Structure 1
């Protein structure tokens, strides 16, 4: 199953329009956390979207949530420790 980048990017544009928080050009906001109350917002480089490890993570997110995320940005349901471990291995 391929990740639909156009869907992710169009949702990001909607989020940026609705949300007054500034996201630098070339980055995307994501919420990370397993429990709603523990989710934290991070801004990651768009280049992560093309990395195979990150694509696997996005695929699992799509299967669980689709691309309708109630937090207003892409939601990644994993621990912050797991997210940091994964992103520390990515080069952008």
Structure 2
């Protein structure tokens, strides 16, 4: 079995949008790090629905990233990031 190599596209630093900067900071980061920092933010601000851990309850900063939605599933989250990274 061959060793899995990380996808170079995922390791390339991307610039977060102004909305995402409020959550992850202004430095260019690899996508994997963006996702990791958003999860840190969600956990430190207790933004997971306690009845359904797959549902994220967006505060003001995350609503700006999630197109104004107050709730998104963890599976939708990455789709919303696409328009906030360049």
* TM-score of the pair, normalised by structure 2: 0.41
* TM-score of the pair, normalised by structure 1: 0.39
Structure number, greater radius of gyration: 2
Structure with more relative contact order (C-alpha pairs < 8 Å, separation 6 or more): 1
More strand by percentage? 1
